[in-house]
Structure 1
């Protein structure tokens, strides 16, 4: 009877160590010709248009009172039991996430109200900085999502957007554009399949 030899990872580790210790100089980044990048006469109008095409809805508001009024007119918000607001100065929440350590406890959140750093007219996306998120899952696990972002923090294209990001403030950040959607099954578009059912964006001054 052959005696089994214990598995060893010595050779594999040696290869990985050599790869880790090898310095590879990659090609430089291309030079961006900013005058050739897409620009819009009215980036706010373009953002609203593009967001609509991907299933989101934008609202131009002047103050927090208007945000509260618009949300209160939405039945699924008026009837919501668990609302997490990361913009408490604009919208009060009913759930204090500071008291929650386990993200699984957020599985029944109805609404998340998040803060956007800036928006992109080109594709209707909003950059949400991870440093503003106590639990990153809040953007994806809530039934409905609202994002508050200043229209003065609106850029024309993604090149400008990535220049705004620079070195991220935290290990996590994400562009959000429209509600969750999929058309994998019979090529029928379904909203809210894997995340929020609707996205409301409030463009403040």
Structure 2
């Protein structure tokens, strides 16, 4: 038996007895309006947000708020016209000129304004970080109150890479001066896609 194997065997035989995981239900969200809370928190951290009824509204807002003469890519077939549908097979270095990337979140978290983006949603891992501006479509029913509910959903998911992203890139390391777009997208826009007729949010 090698030294490594001997050490690992000793660790295995000297582990403490198993104990149940702590109850974290008290940390989970209550009955608050998660959509309203998400809107408030996300805009407070520098994000831009719109509540929309369909993809046609998203397309119209993009044409109004972004420079469509520059490269706009999306992973969503619903927005592939007139925008460029992202290819997952091309060299990621070819995305160095992306002005705006539009992707769909797996879920969003009301308490911190973050969206959960596994690799399957990104198209390619580089996309949410290399673009000048990032737009994320969030179905309203996927917004959860806290990270505890989020981890309940994603804890056993099958993905090789994923990230919580909350708001545009920012830093305040230098003289405590807040700088947007320091090392990633300059802006982040979230489109909350309503699925229920009775969902009313005023932004």
Q: How does 1:23-34 map to 2 (within 5 A)?
A: 23=12, 25=15, 28=19, 30-34=21-25
1:163 pairs, out of 147, 152, 163, with: 152
Q: How many residues get paired?
A: 189
State the TM-score, normalizing by the size of structure 1. 0.82
- CA change 1:81–1:20 in 2 (3 A) is farther
1:174 pairs, out of 163, 168, 171, with: 163
The residue number in structure 2 matching 1:183 is: 172
| C-alpha distance after superposition, 1:120-142 (max 9, x if no partner) | 11111111121223310101010
State the TM-score, normalizing by the size of structure 2. 0.83
Q: Which moved more, 1:25-34 or 1:157-166?
A: 25-34
Q: How does 1:1-205 map to 2 (within 5 A)?
A: 14-19=2-7, 22-23=11-12, 25=15, 28=19, 30-39=21-30, 41-74=32-65, 77-92=66-81, 93-94=83-84, 96-100=86-90, 102-205=91-194
- Mapped to 2, the partners of 1:188 and 1:32 lie a distance apart of 40
Give 5+ residue unaligned stretches, structure 1. Answer: 1-13
3-state DSSP of counterpart to 1:67: helix
Structure with higher Rg: it is: 1
Give 5+ residue unaligned stretches, structure 2. Answer: 195-203
- Mapped to 2, the partners of 1:54 and 1:147 lie a distance apart of 15
- Mapped to 2, the partners of 1:35 and 1:73 lie a distance apart of 44
CA RMSD of aligned residues (A): 2.2
